[in-house]
């Protein structure tokens, strides 16, 4: 803090404490005119309520005085009066460093143990789940929800089922969290509105959903364009993040209108990389927690 700012802070402290302390000393001795009946003359409710006058109770005066004493002691012990560092030498940076060090001393032995296990093995460890839950809620729940159920509005997949766009092994999940994922579904509106509607019916047919058989049959030749990513049978491709169209899991919704919108406008799902924000150990624990969502019966490390 510069000398100018220090003097300004000192001035504000002295001004505020000085005024309030002066009022505190003056108030008990102030002379307020009263009527013979002991009231001030202020009335309400057409004179049925009269304002009386009583001295401040002793406990209030003692308590208020002790608060001023506490304020002066605080400004002496801690930084708060300009550039005064405080008799205790306390700083917020020092406090943070001590708390970080204490937290590190607690977590390091746990993380060291967690490194001995694969994601699949760690998924059943209660302490890893507890830590993973906190990390997941702090970093991932905004899109995937605290429950891990996902959000079709932002294209965040459901993590509690066994359907994985980029693979569901511990290594796959770790890579997704560490490096992020960028899905690119190009828009196909150029095919024409009728062809898009027909493709919608064909996609519905792949999963056995109710559909228009004639329109689906008409679109089957067109699906060869989609097969480059989704496969000839619509089974998807984890290497590209192309979803399986033959199950009943829909990243952006599975109604005819939602599928038609996906085909016509395309989708640009993005999972940001978390390696700049999270350490390797934290990513390892989150991956185990995510793996645990859809493998509730898995055993932890032995």
Query: Residue positions in the annotated binding site for heme c?
Result: 140, 143-144, 185, 226, 229-230, 271
Dihedral sign (CA 138, 143, 147, 148): negative
What one-character DSSP code corresponds to residue 156?
A: B
Rg (CA), the chain: 34
Residue 84 CA to residue 4 CA, distance in Å, equals 14
Give the Cα separation of 1 and 169 in Å (integer): 53
Across-strand partners of 43?
50
* Angstrom distance (rounded) from CA 173 to CA 114: 16
Annotated binding site: 140, 143-144, 185, 226, 229-230, 271
Which residues, including other chains, have CB under 8 Å from residue 10's CB and lie 6 or more apart?
81, 82
Residues with Cβ within 8 Å of 118's Cβ and at least 6 positions away in sequence, in order, are: 170
The vertex-136 CA angle with 133 and 142, nearest 5°, equals 130
Backbone angles phi and psi of 294, in degrees to 5: -105, 10
Point out which residues pair with 52 in neighbouring strands: 39
What CA–CA distance (Å, rounded) separates 228 from 239? Answer: 12
- C-beta separation of 140 from 285 below 8 A: no
**Burial (0-12, 13-18, 19+ Cβ within 10 Å), 123:** buried
Question: Which of 278, 283, 68 minimizes the C-alpha distance to 172?
Answer: 283
């Amino acid at each position: 803090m510069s000398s100018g700012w220090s003097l300004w802070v000192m001035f504000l402290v002295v001004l505020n404490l000085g005024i309030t302390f002066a009022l505190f000393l003056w108030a008990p001795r102030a002379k307020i005119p009263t009527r013979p009946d002991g009231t001030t003359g202020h009335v309400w409710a057409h004179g049925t309520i009269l304002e009386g006058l009583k001295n401040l109770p002793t406990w209030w005066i003692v308590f208020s005085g002790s608060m001023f004493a506490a304020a002066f002691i605080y400004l002496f012990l801690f930084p708060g009066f300009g550039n005064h560092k405080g008799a205790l030498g306390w700083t917020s940076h020092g406090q943070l460093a001590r708390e970080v060090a204490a937290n590190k001393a607690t977590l390091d032995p746990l993380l060291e143990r967690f490194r001995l296990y694969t994601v699949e093995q760690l998924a059943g460890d209660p302490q890893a789940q507890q830590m993973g839950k906190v990390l997941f809620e702090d970093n991932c729940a905004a899109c995937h929800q605290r429950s891990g159920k996902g959000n079709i509005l932002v294209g965040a997949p459901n993590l509690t089922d066994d359907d994985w766009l980029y693979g569901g092994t511990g290594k796959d999940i770790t890579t997704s969290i560490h490096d992020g994922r960028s899905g690119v579904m190009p828009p196909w509106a150029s095919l024409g509105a009728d062809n898009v509607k027909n493709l919608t019916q064909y996609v519905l047919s792949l999963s056995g959903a109710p559909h228009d058989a004639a329109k689906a049959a008409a679109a089957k030749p067109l699906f060869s364009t989609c097969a480059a990513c989704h496969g000839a049978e619509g089974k998807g491709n984890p290497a590209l993040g192309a979803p399986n169209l033959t199950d009943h899991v829909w990243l952006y919704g599975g109604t005819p209108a939602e599928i038609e919108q996906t085909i016509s406008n395309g989708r640009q799902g993005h999972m940001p990389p978390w390696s700049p924000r999270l350490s390797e150990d934290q990513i390892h624990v989150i991956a185990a927690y995510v793996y645990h969502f859809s493998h509730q019966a898995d055993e932890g490390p032995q």
